[in-house]
Amino acid sequence: MRRNGKEKWSGVEGQVSLEADTLNDRSRAAIALLRSADPDERQFDELEVNFESSGYSDPGRYDGAWENCYPAEYEDERIVTDVFLTTAGQKIRVADHVMLVVERDPLVQAEVAKVELEFPGPDYDAMYEAALERKRGW
C-alpha cells in the first residue's frame, strides 16, 4: 500500500539459495544427517531459504514548516518460513529445530537481508469484485 510516498507491506515472500558448505560449523552439523555420505556428491548440496518480509518505508519530509518535518524511516522484518536442502537430486524440508539453527547463521541472515523484494502490484480484479459486491449489497 502506498500513500504520499509512504509504503507498507506484509507477507511479501522471498527466497535465497546458498551452498551448504559455506555455512558455519553449527549449521553444517545441524544438516549433516540429511547430506549424502559421498563427499563428491556433497559439493553440490544447496540450501533454499524461504522467508516473508513485513515492514514500511516513509521518505520523510524536509520542506515546509519545521514542526511538520521529519527524517526518513524504514523497517523491514524478515522471518524464515522454510528451509530445504537439495542433495543428490532430492529436495528435503529440514525440521523446525534445524531451521532455527540455520536461520541464525550469520551468512544466511546476510544473504536474506540482501534480497531485493518484488512487491506485487494491486489486484484490480479483486478490487473490482469487492466494489461490485458492495454495490449489490452482498
pLDDT in tens, 17-70: 999 888 999 998 898 888 866 666 666 789 999 999 999 989 988 888 989 899
Residue 25 near residue 78 (C-beta atoms within 8 A)? no
**Exposed/middle/buried for residue 86 (C-beta within 10 Å: 0-12, 13-18, 19+):** middle
Count other Cβ atoms within 10 Å, centred on residue 93: 13
How far is the C-alpha of 59 from the C-alpha of 77, rounded, in Å?
18
User: Average pLDDT over the chain, rounded to whole?
Assistant: 86
Question: Residue-wise over 35-65: b if at least 16 C-beta within 10 A, else e?
Answer: beeeeeeeeebebebebbbeeeebeeeeeee
C-alpha cell recorded at residue 76: 523491514
pLDDT of residue 115 exceeding 80, the answer is: yes
